[in-house]
Structure 1
Amino acid sequence: MANPHTARLYRTIVGGVGTLIVLIGLVLVPFPGPGWLIVIIGLFVISSEFRWAQRILHFVRLNVEKWTHWVMARPVWVRWTLAAVTAALVAVVVWAAFRIIGLPDWVPEIEVLKYLELQ
């Protein structure tokens, strides 16, 4: 941009919007869904103007690739175990969230929910 004041304002806006997206993603990380994806999208926004965010994205990409290659090189039982542990962690987080905030009113009364102390 030719005008340095406009360029500074643009960088500030991009940095603010990207940071907001990253923070929303970080809040959503413990819950099932795209928490980490939202964090990475926020980093993409920030990296359009800031070199440090480009370095973080590069680091994330390399480590995700390493993790993927490591997991895929393991036997099937290890991959299934990792999937089961991940599913169990997600289930615990969902249960804890519903214990804290309560179930929505539209959820029918089910015996299992009473056993899990959710109703």
Structure 2
Amino acid sequence: MSDKPDFPQGSSRWRDRARIAHQTVRANPTGAAALKVVIGALGGLVVAIGILLIPLPGPGWLIVIGGLAIWAVEFVWARHLLQFTKDKVHGWTEWIKRQHLAVRLLIGLAGLVFVAAVLYTTLRYSLGIDVVSQAWQYVNTR
């Protein structure tokens, strides 16, 4: 008989190993405290990066939720907040699915207009690039 536990195949194998490693570290009081600090710092860093990226086009909110998922490994409040977020996103998705195609297209268009406005504002006021005047100048010279 082998000393190694019999793990199932695939991703659940890694999940089981991670769970066992997590439980082993938490069994030691010093390890548990260190784990809380590491998870807290790592989750905080990921959330902070996500918050900085929210105004830009891209996955800002997804990164914030990823940081929340990291915190949820150790903190019950984060687990509850993550579940609340999942429930709201699922509810929004289900509501969108029930809407008429025209409503879904209008919501998508509003999202695109918002992203374009944020991108324009970011380029204009952060980098000093006026995309509209450059595009207009390009069109007039061709």
Letter in 2 for 1:112: A
User: Which structure has the larger Rg?
Assistant: 2
User: Structure 1 101/113 Cα, relative in aligned 2: closer, same or farther at 3 Å?
Assistant: farther
| Ranges of 4+ aligned residues in structure 1 off by more than 4 Å | none
Residue of structure 1 equivalent to 2:55: 30
Residue deviations 1:43-97, cap 9 Å, x none? Answer: 1111000000000110001000100011110100000000001000000100000
Letter matched to residue 83 of structure 1: G
Task: Calculate the TM-score normalised by the size of structure 1.
Answer: 0.84
What are the ranges of 5 or more consecutive residues in structure 2 without an aligned counterpart?
Answer: 1-25
> Once the two structures are superposed, what CA deviation does each residue of 1:2-35 show, in whole Å capped at 9, x if it has no partner?
3312211111111111011011111111211111
Equivalent in the alignment of 1:107: none
> Using CA pairs below 8 Å that are at least 6 residues apart, which structure has the higher relative contact order?
1
Which of the pair is proportionally richer in helix? 2
1:112 aligns with 2:135: yes
CA RMSD of aligned residues (A): 1.9
Percent of paired sites with the same residue: 36
For 1:40 and 1:112, locate their aligned partners in 2 and report how far apart those are by CA, in whole Å: 36
Letter in 2 for 1:82: I
TM-score, reference length from structure 2: 0.71
Gaps of 5+ in 1: 105-109
Pairs aligned (count): 110
